[in-house]
Amino acid sequence: MTRPGPGTTAGAKAPAYLALTRAVSPRLAECELTHLARTPIDVPTAFAQHHRYEQLLTSLGCEVRRVAPAPDHPDSVFIEDTAVVFDDVAVVTRPGAPSRRAEVRAVEEALTPLRALVRIVAPAILDGGDVCAVGKRVFVGRTTRTDDAGIAQLRTELAPFGYSVRAVDVSGCLHLKSAATAIDDHTVLLNPEWVDAGLFAPLETVAVDPAEPMAANVLRIGDTLVYADAYPLTRARLEARGQVVHTVAATEIAKAEGAVTCCSLVLRAQR
Ligand code: CIR
C-alpha cells in the first residue's frame, strides 16, 4: 500500500518522477551499523529531516509516495536497499542483513503496478545501495551486503534489457553508493580511498574533497542533485562544474550509516 506524501497536489501537472519513500522508524536508533560507532540518534529530528527531504523531492518534480511504514524495522527508511528500479524493470533485492529482509515485501507490492519485477533469490544477497547505474552501465559493489552470487543474478536478470553489470570492490564504507554515485550520464563522484576510480572507465570521475570522505553520495533528480548539507567543499566542486545542487540536513540518517540516495526509490514516471 502506498500513500501520497507531503506536497502532493491534486490536479497539478503530472510529475516526471515517482519517489517511493518510507517513514523513519521510531526504532531508528536500533539500526544496523557496520563502519560507524553507535552515537545517539535524535528520532524527532530524523522525522523532521526526512519530511524536508520529501518536500524537496516534491519541489523538484517528484510525486512522493510513501510505502506503508514498518515501525518495527529500524532501517526501513532506507528503502533504496530493497529494490533497484530501471525504466524497463525493477529488481527486488534480498538484503544482506538478515534483520532487513522483511522490509522487502511491502516495497515489492508498491512496485508491482509500476514495473515488471524480477527478484534476487536465496542464497544470494544484494543491497540496492550497492548498485550504481549510469545509463546502461551498472556498477555493483562487492561488500558485506552484496555477494558474487547476487551480482551474477543481477547480471543475468538485466542482460535481456541491455544493461552491462560490472563488479566493483569497495573498502572502508558500507555500500558502493557510499563511495560512488553518478552526477550525470557520464560522470561519477567518488571517494578514491574507498573505490578504484579506474574501474569506472570510460566514464569521467570527480573526487570528493579529501576532508569530506562521506561526500560521494548524491541523488539525481533529472539534471538536479540532492545532497547533504554537510559537505560544502565537495559541493563547491560540483557547482564549479555547473551542477545545480539542493541541500538537505541529513545528520540523523548519517548516524545510521545512511545518506540521501538511501531514503528513496526514484522512478521515471511512465505515461
Ligand atoms: C544498514 O546498515 O543497513 C542501515 N543502517 C543503513 C543503510 C543505508 N543504505 C544505503 O546506504 N543504501
Domain ranges of the chain: 2-32+39-268
Return the active site residues. Answer: 175, 262
Instruction: Please name the fold of domain 2-32+39-268.
Output: L-arginine/glycine Amidinotransferase; Chain A (3.75.10)
> Does residue 40 carry a pLDDT above 90?
yes
According to the model, what pLDDT value does residue 270 have?
81
**CA 205/CA 190 separation, integer angstroms:** 7
Closest atom of ligand 1 to 129 CA is 12
Residue-level pLDDT at 168: 98
Residues 6+ apart with CB under 8 A from 177: 80, 129, 130, 131, 132, 141, 216, 217, 259, 261, 262
- Pair 271, 87: CB distance under 8 Å: no
Distance 185 CA to ligand 1 centre (A): 25
Name the nearest CA neighbour of 196 among 183, 173, 179: 179
Strand-pairing partners, residue 268, are 17
Encoded amino acid at 9, one letter = T
Ligand 1 closest atom vs CA 31: 5
pLDDT digits (tens, 9 = 90+) for 199-240: 999 999 999 999 999 999 999 999 999 999 999 999 999 999
Q: Using the mean position of ligand 1's atoms as its centre, give its distance from the Cα of residue 128 in Å.
A: 9
Q: Which residues line ligand 1 (CB under 6 A)?
A: 31-32, 34, 75, 78, 80-81, 97, 100, 129, 174-175, 177-178, 256-259, 262
